[in-house]
Structure 1
Amino acid sequence: MKHKLIRSSVRETVGDFAPAFVDYTEKVLFGDVWRRGQLSLRERSLITVATLVAGEHVSQLPYHLNLAKENGISEEELVEIITQLAFYVGWPRAASAIQIAKDVFCKEKESLA
């Protein structure tokens, strides 16, 4: 069973600059890999967020924190994941990720108010 199609923001951000990159992102990454049924979307989000924090790839983190929430992971769980990662990938990486998570989650709450 294939999962729902994940919408990427890559077309809006770099579509006119890197059309092949957009094509691979939409067709291969989100059109195939993310839709495979062997892992749930929740599991894929857990793996992705952990990998982004571990690799200190913070520019991708806001998008994937929001996607993780869409895929059933609570803000509390995401903060807990980052907290545990601090002991395995380094405190500065986790501290950067916690700040980004706070910014993403607080900005979201402000826009709802």
Structure 2
Amino acid sequence: MTNAQASQNSNDNLRYERGLAKLQQIDGEGGVKVVESLAGIAPDFARLLIEFPFGDIYSRPGLDLRSREIAVVAALTAMGNAAPQLKVHIQGALNVGVTRNEVVEVIMQMAVYAGFPAALNGLTAAREVFTADDEKSAQPLAEPRALVETP
């Protein structure tokens, strides 16, 4: 391995680590599950998904995570064909401090630029995320298990 190759590997590892940390900060388990789901079919794509969007773009200093997630929710809503990704990023937006009302307003704003069908699909995705979040919050915490079972 040449010095240039070693330097490139080191840079790629830094991008990956920075990206993974940012992904976990935004999406928590959801983002990690997306990456894990790609391991069997396209592990290189999973690595790129961490390095470029999260390691390079999300880590830039120009916008805070809250603003970035608002922009992503708007873009995915406008696309109209990315419901799974939209749901992950709606949850990510909530995770970084965007309120439910703000999510709804951003999606409604897209009706002006992307049309009512795209906004309706976005609102459906938001309702599903909000409902799942409410259900998860309503579940009682599991009883702690004893570290040592008594006979």
TM-score greater than 0.5 by the shorter chain:
yes
Q: 1:23 Cα shift? A: 0.7
Aligned to 2:41: 17
Deviation per residue, 1:41-87 (Å, 9 max, x gap): 11111111100000112120110001111121101100011112112
The 5 A counterparts of 1:32-51 are: 32-51=56-75
SS, match of residue 30 in structure 1 = helix
2:96 and 2:71 map into 1 onto residues whose CA distance is 12
1:65 and 1:25 map into 2 onto residues whose CA distance is 18
2:112 and 2:62 map into 1 onto residues whose CA distance is 29
Structure number with greater Rg is: 2
Match of 2:53 among 17, 29, 34: 29
SS, match of residue 38 in structure 1 = coil
Aligned to 2:105: 80
Aligned to 1:71: 96
Q: Show structure 1 runs of 5+ residues with no match.
A: none
1:48 and 1:11 map into 2 onto residues whose CA distance is 18
Q: Show structure 2 runs of 5+ residues with no match.
A: 1-17, 25-30, 139-151
1:22 and 1:72 map into 2 onto residues whose CA distance is 26
Aligned to 2:22: 5
Deviant stretches of 4+, over 4 Å: none
Q: TM-score under structure 2 normalisation?
A: 0.69
Q: How many residues align?
A: 112
Percent of aligned pairs sharing the same letter: 33
1:11 and 1:110 map into 2 onto residues whose CA distance is 24
Partner AA of 2:51 in structure 1: K
2:95 and 2:83 map into 1 onto residues whose CA distance is 19
2:121 and 2:101 map into 1 onto residues whose CA distance is 17
Partner AA of 1:93 in structure 2: A
SS, match of residue 125 in structure 2 = helix
